[in-house]
Amino acid sequence: MGELYRSLARYYDVIYRARLERISQEIGFVERIFRNDARREVRRVLDIACGTGAPTLELVRRGYEVVGLDINEEMLTVARGKAQREELSVEFMLGDAAALDFQEEFDAVTMLFSSILYFDEDRINELFNSVIKALRTEGVFVADWSNLLFYRDEGPDVREEREGNEIVVTTTWREFENASQRLHLKHLVQIIHPDGEVKAFFTHENLNVYTAREMRLLAEKHFDEVRIYGDFQRASGECVETLARWNQRPSSLNASISLSFSSLFLTLKRTY
């Protein structure tokens, strides 16, 4: 995992170009969540696990005051360069999403691009507690993650992208391990230079796989209300199922989770 986010940070946007082309649509869905689920006006946003800043900068373009946070300095260097070229005002910080050092400073917190799948159950619980502290009263937390059970083993996936005078070829293998409920992603990234020189990098990522029921149970440990919506690519965002669990805790929280075959969105409301 480290190689992809360190040595290959400058090529990250090329490797994931297809996903980044959907960022405007995804942030549009996030904005609808802000409007529908937040009980306060969302102006100040913390984007955690921001990577090279694609969602962060899209939020800034839409008028939000945003802080981007990531655990890899190399990714943040790329993000800062992009912001500077566009002359966008945004702060990027180095830090751990599960150990945020904020106290009620944000109207919303976002965590996109399936970053939550790098967290096991213990770390997810730490993350939720950390985010709650960072949110202002009536603020919202929005996270998305891919439903990895959606993927099928169809052999290696090969993608070729051109970046300037270089060609970037990425070959990805996916292997699901039933015993640990993890998806192993192996990437071979080849950078082909104009003179024919080829630099090759091999990376390995381990992603946690959660069923919809497992995600629901995790959320219900922390949040009182769980909602399941359709995929963000569906314009309506129609609510297809609603579940609720209420209790008498004085520090009661509400949360919404939107789920689709390929993507899941979670929204936490801080109500105290």
In Å, how far from its chain's centre is CA 106? 17
DSSP H stretches of helix in 108-211: 121-134
pLDDT given at position 20? 92
Question: Within this chain, do residues 54 and 178 fall inside the same structural domain, yes or no?
Answer: no
Tell me, yes or no, whether 44 and 161 share the same domain. no
Q: Which of 65-79, 99-113, 152-166 has the highest average model confidence (pLDDT)?
A: 65-79
Say which CATH number the domain at 201 has. Answer: 2.20.25.110
pLDDT beyond 90 at 238: no
Tell me what the mean pLDDT of segment 105-124 comes to. Answer: 92
What is the rounded distance in angstroms from the CA atom of residue 33 to the CA atom of residue 239?
12
Cα–Cα distances in angstroms (integers) from residue 212 to residues 82, 149, 175, 227, in the given order = 36, 10, 20, 12
Structural contact between residues 46 and 104, judged by C-beta atoms closer than 8 angstroms: no
How high is the pLDDT of residue 243? 33
Q: Rounded mean pLDDT of 178-206?
A: 91
Number of DSSP helices (H) and strands (E) in the chain, helices first: 8, 13
Question: Rounded mean pLDDT of 128-156?
Answer: 79
Model confidence at 4: pLDDT above 60:
yes
Final residue before a domain boundary, out of 208, 228, 244? 208
Q: Total structural domains in the chain?
A: 2
- pTM of this structure: 0.84
Q: Are residues 69 and 191 in the same domain?
A: no
Residue 118: per-residue pLDDT: 93
Distance CA 31, CA 236 (A): 13
Rg (CA), the chain: 19
